[in-house]
Amino acid sequence: IRFFSTPRVAVIGSGPAAFYTSLDILKYDIPVQIDMFEKRPCPFGLVRFGVAPDHPEVKSCQERFHDASKDPRFQFFGNVEIGRDIKLKELYDNYDSIVYAYGSSRENRLGIAGEDHPAVINSRDFVGWYNGDPRNQDLNPPLDKAGEVTIIGNGNVAMDIVRILLAPAKHWENTDITPYALDMLQKSIVRKVTVSARRGFLESKFSNKEFRECLELDKCGVAFTGWGAETFEPLLAGMKLGRVEKRRLQLVQKYCQPAAEGKSWRLDYLQTPLGIKVDPKQPSLLKETIFRKNRISPSGEIVPTEDLSSVSNQLLILCIGYKGEALAEFDELNIPFDTNRGAIPNREGRIEGMERSYCVGWIANASRGSINSTVADSSMVASHVVADLGKVQDSAKKGREAITKLLAQRNVKAINWDDWIKIEQYERSQGRKLTDFNSMLSVCND
C-alpha cells in the first residue's frame, strides 16, 4: 500500500482491545498517526480495574502496551472522554478512521425486588473497590458483619470473588490490592460462600483453571463442599461429557468434602433468584435470598418448577455480566447499536453501514472474551483499518493538532504518556495504586 499523506486514526478506549489494535496497526510500516482517547487519567481499562490482584501474570500485558508509546506515530490522551470533552462528530471531522474500543460501562441487572438494597452489590463495584477504581473507593462492603455471602453467577469473575472472600488476608498482602480492601479483608468474618447459577453443572461458566484456583484454597483450610448431590447426580446420569467437563468433574470429585466447620464454599445449580429478605434486626444486611428451583427438560431447556428454596446470607454479590452502551451521539450520527446485546453490530470488526469505523473488544463482542481472545480480534481489525486507509489517497484531516487545540480551548487537562509514567513511578515507589483522580493529576503536575 502506498500512502501519499499521513492518515489519522482515533482509538476510543485504552484497554487491551485498544492497545493490541494500535500495536498491530503500528506493525505496518506506514505513515500513520494513532491517537488514543481514554476517559480516565490512567490507561489499561479492565487490566487495571478488573483482573484480580493475585493474577500479576495476566496484568503483565501492560508492559507490552508501553511499546506503543515508544512509537512517535502514537499519542495517548488520558482524562479525555469522547462524547463529553471531545464530541464524536469532532473525531469524524478530524480523523480518517475511528476504532471503538470503549468496553462495557454497565453491569447487568437481575430485575428482582430488593436489588437496590445496599447489601446487594454488583461485581463491577465490588471488583472496582478492591482494584482501586476511584468510583468505588467508598463502597466499604460489610465483610466484617457478613458471615455468609451468596454470589449469583458462576463465571470467572465469581471465582475471583470467591478467592477475595475466602483466601487468608495474607494471600493479598504482596499484591496491588487497595489498602482499604486489605484492611477490610483482615477484619472479614466471611465463613461461607454459595455460588449460585440458573443452569446446570455442565453449563458452568468458569474455566477449570480458575475453578481449580478456588479449590486449592483447601491448603489454607477453605473447604469445597460441593453443590448438593440431589441436583447434580440425576443431571449427569447418562450424559456424554466432553474433555473439559470430564476434567471439571474430576476436580469436584478430588476436592469435594461433605461438610465443613470452618471456611467453606459451594456451587449451587438450577436456582433462579426471586427476591431477598432483609434482616429485621440489622436492616443494612440481608437475611436470606429466595430462589425458584429449575429443572432441565429432556431437550436440555431450563424449566422453572414450583419449588422454592432459600439461602441464608447477609450479603449478595451479583456476577451476572457486564453490558455495553451506545455513546451519546450514536443516533445523531446514525451509528448502529444493538441495545439487547449491548454491542455495536459489526462484521469482523467493521461497523455495519459505516465507512472506516471499526469496533473491537467487549463493545464488539457483547462483553465476552478474555484478553487472549482480544489479541486475535485486534490483529484482524488492524488489518482492515490499514487496508481501508490504503484507499485514502490524500488525507486532509488534522488529527491531533486540531484535538489538542480543542482541549486547550475547553480547559481539559489531557494526561499524556509522560504524565502516566510519572503516576506509575509514583505508585511503584509507594507500593500502592492511586485511587483518586485528583491525586493522579497532582502527581502529574509536580
When the beta carbons of 51 and 311 are compared against ligand FAD, the nearer one is: 51
E strand or H helix at 247, and its extent? helix 243-255
When the beta carbons of 157 and 414 are compared against ligand FAD, the nearer one is: 157
Cβ at position 244, least distance to ligand FAD in Å: 17
When the beta carbons of 13 and 134 are compared against ligand FAD, the nearer one is: 13
Cβ at position 275, least distance to ligand FAD in Å: 26
When the beta carbons of 330 and 426 are compared against ligand FAD, the nearer one is: 330
Binding site annotation covers 396?
Answer: no
CA–CA distance, 160 with 137 (Å, rounded to integer): 19
SS3 287: strand
Binding site annotation covers 157?
Answer: yes
CA 321 to chain centre: 8
CA–CA distance, 24 with 353 (Å, rounded to integer): 24
- The three cell numbers of residue 222 are 477453605
Cβ at position 372, least distance to ligand FAD in Å: 6
Binding site annotation covers 371?
Answer: yes
CA–CA distance, 12 with 18 (Å, rounded to integer): 7
When the beta carbons of 294 and 346 are compared against ligand FAD, the nearer one is: 346
Which residues would be at the binding site for ligand FAD (CB under 6 A)? 12-18, 37-40, 45-47, 50-51, 55, 58, 81-83, 101-103, 105, 127, 157, 160, 327, 361-362, 369-372, 374
Binding site annotation covers 210?
Answer: yes
Length of the chain: 446
b/e code 228-245 from CB counts within 10 Å (16+ = b)? eeebbeebeeeeeeeeeb
Cβ at position 87, least distance to ligand FAD in Å: 11
Report the phi/psi class of residue 321: left, alpha or beta, with left for phi > 0 and alpha for psi in -120 to 50. left
Cβ at position 324, least distance to ligand FAD in Å: 9
Cβ at position 383, least distance to ligand FAD in Å: 18
When the beta carbons of 175 and 312 are compared against ligand FAD, the nearer one is: 175
Which residue type sits at 243? R
Strands (E), 62-197: 74-78, 97-100, 106-107, 120-122, 148-152, 192-196
Cβ at position 181, least distance to ligand FAD in Å: 14
Binding site annotation covers 341?
Answer: no
Binding site annotation covers 369?
Answer: yes
Contact residues for 173 (Cβ-Cβ < 8 A; gap 6+):
182
When the beta carbons of 50 and 114 are compared against ligand FAD, the nearer one is: 50
Cβ at position 77, least distance to ligand FAD in Å: 9
Helix 208-215 and helix 243-255: axis angle, to 10°? Answer: 0
b/e code 5-24 from CB counts within 10 Å (16+ = b)? eebbbbbbbbbbbbbbbbbb
Helix, strand and coil content of the chain, in percent to the nearest 5, comes to: 35, 20, 45
Binding site annotation covers 199?
Answer: yes
When the beta carbons of 288 and 419 are compared against ligand FAD, the nearer one is: 419
By C-alpha distance, which of 28, 15, 78 is closest to 418? 78
Binding site annotation covers 38?
Answer: yes
Binding site annotation covers 131?
Answer: no
Binding site annotation covers 344?
Answer: no
Q: Name the binding residues for FAD.
A: 17, 38, 46, 82, 362, 369-371
Binding-site sequence positions for NADP(+)? 154-157, 198-199, 210, 369
Binding site: what residues are annotated?
A: 17, 38, 46, 82, 154-157, 198-199, 210, 362, 369-371
